[in-house]
Structure formats: C-alpha cells, structure tokens
Structure 1
Amino acid sequence: MELKELTGLLRECAGVDEGVDLDGDVIDTPFAELGYDSLAVLQTTGHIEREYGITLSDDTVAEAETPRMLLGFINESLTEAGRAA
C-alpha cells in the first residue's frame, strides 16, 4: 500500500480536517496533527483489514503515530499474507 491509498482511505473512513492537505508531504506528520485521533486510525485500519484480509493488532496500530509507521505495519502484514502491494 502506498501513501496515496492510505490518505484516500483516511478521508473515506474518517473524513478530513479542512486545514489539512493530505495531498502534501504528510508521511512523517503525526496523525494527531493531521486531525486524526486513535479512533479514526482504528476505523481506517479496520477497513484495510477487511479489504485486504490481514490483521493488525490494536497495540500495533496504537504504535503507529505517523502514516509512514502505519504503512510499514500494513505492508509487513500484506507481505506476510503474500499480498504485497
């Protein structure tokens, strides 16, 4: 999964703060600064889990403070599942 797909899913699942440009360089920006709390990130990862048939623990998702970190966990799970993007 790439950043563009993740930010699209964040918009779809949790909306977007008007003051945030998710099309910009946000890969290392904390989710809190992007206007997403832990519940929004969990909602988005739940969608990803269902769509891709992977499982991410709540602890793992809680560790992911930035899109880069979350993408790392997602892509690791996809690779383990044999479905790398």
Structure 2
Amino acid sequence: MSNNEFTIEDLKRILLEGAGAEEGVDLHGDILDTDFEELGYESLALLETGGRIEREYGISLDDDVFTDNRTPRTLVDAINGCLKELISS
C-alpha cells in the first residue's frame, strides 16, 4: 500500500465495507471518541475489520488491538503506530 497514513475516513470505509452500519448510527458524524459497541460493532465485526486493515495496509495487528483500543481515535492511532514501525524496519 502506498499510503503511509491510516485515517478516520479509511476506518469508516472499511467498517462499512465489512460490516455495514447499525440502523440509527451515523458514521459520518463525530465518532472519534465513541466506543465501538455504541456504534454497533461487536467482536466479530471488529475481527473482520482488522483482517481487512491487515490485508489492505500490509501490517500485522496484535490480537488485542481492538480490546485495547475501544474507540476509532485510539484505533487509528494504534494502526498508524504499526505503519510507522513497518516503514522504519
């Protein structure tokens, strides 16, 4: 992947592609600090999201990346950390 930064827009796109969106959830609003469960994304949807991120960005995510990062803001930061590690190695 030529893009070296993972953005909230990338996350929204991947979430929608993999699991869609719960009725009444607006992913286009300010969701940065909203827990994934409140957004309607349970563990299976997040596993699918993680797999898509790994394939698209060529990174390997720790098994606990979603349990340690419960909001889009912290997940985006964690994924960008993985991308920086990949670039520096």
Mapping 1:1-85, distance limit 5 Å: 1-82=6-87
The percent identity for this pair of structures is: 52
Instruction: Give 1:65 deviation, angstroms.
Output: 0.5
Query: Aligned-residue CA RMSD in angstroms?
Result: 1.3
Instruction: Give 1:71 deviation, angstroms.
Output: 0.6
Question: Separation in 1 of the partners of 2:48 and 2:74?
Answer: 16
Q: Please identify runs of 4+ aligned residues in structure 1 that moved more than 3 A.
A: none
Instruction: Give 1:61 deviation, angstroms.
Output: 2.3
Matched residues, number: 83
Structure 1: 5+ residue runs without aligned partners? none
Structure 2: 5+ residue runs without aligned partners? 1-5
